[in-house]
Amino acid sequence: MRTLTRRSTVLLTLLTVAGGMTAPVAGAEQERKPLPKVAVIGTGGTISGVSKSRVSYQDYESGKLPVSKLVNDLRPEVDAIADVSTEQFGNKGSGSYSIADYRKLTASVDQALKKSDAVVVTTGTDTMEEFAYWLDLTVRSDKPVILTGSMRPWTVIGTDAPANLYNAIHLAASRKTTCYGTVLMLNDQIQAAREARKTNALRMDTFTSGDSGELGVIDQDNIRLNRAPARVQKCGTKAWKTPFDLDTIAKKALPKVEIAYSYQDAGPEAIKAFADSGADGVVTAGTGAGGLSPAMTEARKDAVKNGVLFAATTRTGNGAVYDDNTEGVIGAEDLTPQKARLLLLLSLAATDDQNRIRSWFATLGSAQFQPRR
């Protein structure tokens, strides 16, 4: 309908000018609001992959197509919902990016949000949950940031890539996730960055939010949000922003934080090696509610004495490891090990005050709704 109105107005203008008349001001032109500006930043991944055949779902080269082509393939449909621009940040698998690259990506997203109403970032799905949580913790604007990707490359039959990108742009243009922080949009599902995790190596419904559940869904023209991240309670206040402003953190290498996995009769070697190699922090993926083998427990005690800070998580994928104020060990509640690592890394970059870091894990890391007083 918008295209027909535009064409009718242009035709009317040409006819009246040709007839020596002054063209009237079209009411439709006066009423039509400008489309929201959405910047799409490409980092590569399967969504930009090229397959060897139209049915080689697993045999493809990721990061081959520029993000501009992906968006152009969706025109004119996206032009009806948003004024879309593109930026090529990189074009490789998600696991190939470093923390230094993450830092630059935050700067790119922040810069894009100064000129746009929302940003979509395309990434590979392997470490998408880490991309998302990093941006959730570091982007300063409360405008929508949407991550998307795909489990199948752009060029195969039945690919999920175009639908995911279109829906991500649709969600971004709606601006319904303002103050939600970063969210993921794949398989018609909207997931919060803090809770989303990849749970299947191959299936298209790989992302879930564990016990918390998805935020909502997109059903064609309908965007339905059933819940929100707890940080929306602080929308419009200074408290909405996290303490991790990368512009104020010294331009030096960020702290080294590693992950040690516990299992039956696990030895102390991993923790000892991380501590001896200069790790500032270690996240333990423990059994059950964060348990470690006796050898790992002793190695952790020794590392704490030498100034290494630990965050305790569970390897189970659900449930929580609550903080009990053990010196040098912070309970990360229900954060996955990989997300606890990012929070610990940024915390150590911002301060060496263990009590402050503990409070950030209890608030930013836990992110529970608080009753209004």
46 is catalytic: yes
The β-bridge partners of 38 are 84, 118
CATH superfamily of 33-232: L-asparaginase, N-terminal domain (3.40.50.1170)
DSSP conformational letter for 364: I
Q: Which of 182, 3, 166 is nearest to 84 (CA)?
A: 166
What pLDDT does residue 250 have? 76
The structural domains of the chain, with segments of one domain joined by +, span 33-232, 257-365
How many residues are given for the chain? 373
pLDDT at 16: 38
| Phi, psi torsion values for 2, nearest 5 degrees | -65, -40
**Helix, strand or coil, per DSSP, at residue 90:** coil
CATH architecture of 257-365: 3-Layer(aba) Sandwich (3.40)
- pLDDT, residue 369, reads 85
Of 43, 46, 123, 125, the active-site residue reads: 46
Among candidate residues 169, 86, 160, 92, the one with its CA nearest the CA of residue 127: 92
Which pLDDT score is estimated for 208?
Answer: 94
Q: Is 179 left (phi over 0), alpha (psi -120 to 50) or beta?
A: left
Shared fold status for 33-232 and 257-365: yes
Burial category of 204 from C-beta neighbours within 10 Å (exposed 0-12, middle 13-18, buried 19 and up): middle
pLDDT tens, per residue, the chain with 373 residues: 334 333 344 333 333 333 444 444 444 445 678 999 999 999 999 999 999 999 999 999 999 999 999 999 999 999 999 999 999 999 999 999 999 999 999 999 999 999 999 999 999 999 999 999 999 999 999 999 999 999 999 999 999 999 999 999 999 999 999 999 999 999 999 999 999 999 999 999 999 999 899 999 999 999 999 999 999 999 999 999 999 999 988 777 899 999 999 999 999 999 999 999 999 999 999 999 999 999 999 999 999 999 999 999 999 989 999 999 999 999 999 999 999 999 999 999 999 999 999 999 999 898 788 877 6
- Name all contacts of 26-34 with Cβ < 8 Å and 24+ positions apart: 32/2, 32/5, 34/83
282 has which bridge partners?
Answer: 258, 310
**Which candidate, 108, 136, 120, places its Cα nearest to that of 193?**
136
Q: Please name the residues in contact with 73: beta carbons below 8 A apart, sequence gap of 6 or more.
A: 154, 162
Q: What is the pLDDT of residue 38?
A: 98
pLDDT of residue 31: 66
On the question of a cis peptide bond just before residue 76, with omega within 30 degrees of 0, the verdict is: yes
In this structure, how many other beta carbons lie within 10 angstroms of the beta carbon of residue 22?
Answer: 7
Distance separating alpha carbons of residues 235 and 242, to the nearest angstrom? 12
Q: What is the pTM of this model?
A: 0.89
